[in-house]
Amino acid sequence: MSSLQTMTLNMGPQHPSTHGVLRLVLELDGEVVLRCVPHIGYLHTGIEKGVESKRFQQGIPLTDRMDYLAPLSNNLAYVLAVEKALGVTVPERAQVIRVLLTEITRIKSHLVWLGTHAMDIGAMSVFLYCFREREQILDLYEAVSGQRMMSSYFRVGGLAADLPAGFEQQAQAFLQAFPDRVAEYEALLTKNPLWRQRTIGIGTISREDAIGLGLTGPSLRACGVAYDVRKAHPYSGYETYSFEVPLGRNGDVYDRYTVRVAEMTQSHRIATQALGRLTPGPINVADPKLVPPPKPLVKKSMEALIHHFKLYAEGFSAPAGEVYHAIEAPKGELGVYLVTDGSNKPYRVHFRAPSFVNLEALSKMVEGRLVADVVAVIGSLDIVLGEIDR
């Protein structure tokens, strides 16, 4: 085929359905995509470099800005990696609160995915339904951290603060109403013939290709591979919660949709269990070298004052070594590779961002397909450019 017959189409970086600043260069033969070359980096903010230049605790706010739809998942991956290097485990109450909030975060992330994905394909109203519930989750975020998006609520060694009064009732009210909301989204889409035509058999990827390309999270499970970090390598006590890992079969856009919708129900299940387990107790490890002593004590005890000063002036240091800690973030396996050199800053930190790896599979999914399906496939991968570009 001569080059005269093909057309090169530049999609993005300011295209509304590329979910941020993704740029694709598509080579088209009529309506068929021959080649798809993604260009990324427009949102590169040097987060890894930034975290390496700050003390361990100071890196947390930067992690919020990777997958900004699921900031608490990023916080969790980072603090767990640092805690692994330090060799500490946080108290039960902190673990339960972490699980509760990261599962609510998964729901929040999936809501944005569902709303925008459906809107990309032309189902406008789903977006409004999803953002209605997301608003309630943002209120929960605001209650615990004072921030609706960049919450930075988790700390190495525990949490920034205990849950505020009334939070449990607020979370309870949200969780009680949520199953009916999921039923509403499903009523709008799952059996909708237009939705099915736009998603079934589109963007299909085989199991082998998905594994070879390193897909993780719902996009891998839609191919029928039961890999969920929460089950395979439980952290924060996930082994004690009962939940299922929804699987797809065909690895197409529709299966990725059904897997994520089913995951919202499972996350609701875990969050409800976690809420029932909240009992009073400490939220931080009892180590004054790691967590500042309570303020009233600082005013009375010389030792506490010294600890307070040391922690705010130079932080804590971690023994030299290296760890990799992965969590099941809403988008897939979020891994943190941390190299410590005995100082109070991470020597090297690398985030294995699930969106980065998942986006790599896009070309495989769209080449040879229609250009109109590209939008559906991008939506089904649930990418966030903040995390891809870091």
Partner 1 sequence: MAEPRAPLEPRPAGDEAAAVPESLVLQRLRAQLGDALAEVHHWRNETTVILAPRDLLRVCRYLRDEPDLAFDLLSDVTAVDRLQLPQSSPRFEVVYHLYSLQFRRRLRLKLRVDEGEAVPTVTGIWPTANWHEREVFDLFGVHFEGHPDLRRILMPEDWEGHPLRKDYPVEASPKWWEEEGA
List residues near partner 1 by CB under 8 A: 40-41, 44, 46, 48-50, 53, 84-85, 87-89, 211-214, 216, 225, 227, 232-233, 319, 321-324, 326, 333, 335, 337, 339, 341, 347-348, 350, 352, 356-357, 360, 389-390
Query: Whole-number minimum distance, CB 21 to partner 1, in Å?
Result: 12
The span from the CA of 333 to the CA of 96, in Å, is: 21
- The secondary element (H helix, E strand) that includes residue 168 is helix 167-189
Q: Give whichever of 46 and 122 is closer to partner 1, judged by the CB atom.
A: 46
Whose Cβ is closer to partner 1: residue 127's or residue 351's?
Answer: 351
Q: Smallest distance, Å, CB 54 to partner 1? A: 9
Minimum Å distance from CB 287 to partner 1?
A: 12
Can you tell me the distance from the alpha carbon of 329 to that of 107, in angstroms, rounded to the nearest whole number? 11
Select 177 or 232, whichever has its Cβ closest to partner 1: 232
CB of residue 62 to partner 1, shortest distance in Å: 12
Report the distance separating Cα 169 and Cα 181, nearest Å.
19
Cβ distance to partner 1 smaller for residue 49 or 299:
49
Residue 213 dihedral angles phi and psi, to the nearest 5°: -85, 5
CA angle 333, 262, 236 (to 5 degrees): 45
Q: Which is nearer to partner 1, 42 or 68 (CB)?
A: 42
Q: Which is nearer to partner 1, 37 or 124 (CB)?
A: 37
The position carrying tokens 């969050």 is: 271
> Smallest distance from the beta carbon of 379 to partner 1, in angstroms?
20
User: What angle is formed at CA 152 by the lines to CA 338 and CA 91, rounded to 5 degrees?
Assistant: 75
**Residues with Cβ within 8 Å of residue 80, at least 6 apart in sequence:** 235, 236, 325, 327, 336
- The least distance separating partner 1 from the CB of residue 327, rounded to whole angstroms, comes to 13
Report, in Å, the least distance between residue 360 CB and partner 1: 5
Nearer to partner 1, 42 or 131 (CB): 42
Alpha-carbon span 137 to 114, nearest angstrom: 15
Which amino acid would we find at residue 128?
L
Q: How far is the CB of 352 from partner 1 (least distance, A)?
A: 4
Secondary-structure percent of the chain, ordered helix, strand, coil, rounded to 5: 55, 15, 35
Q: Which is nearer to partner 1, 146 or 319 (CB)?
A: 319
**Short-list 186, 69, 216, CA closest to 118:** 186
Q: How far is the CB of 77 from partner 1 (least distance, A)?
A: 13
CB 38 within 8 A of CB 374: no
Q: Which is nearer to partner 1, 251 or 335 (CB)?
A: 335
Phi first, then psi: what are they for 121, rounded to 5°? Answer: -85, -10
Q: What are phi and psi of 336, to 5 degrees?
A: -120, 120
Is 291:285 a contact under the CB 8 Å cutoff?
A: yes
Tokens of 122: 């032309």
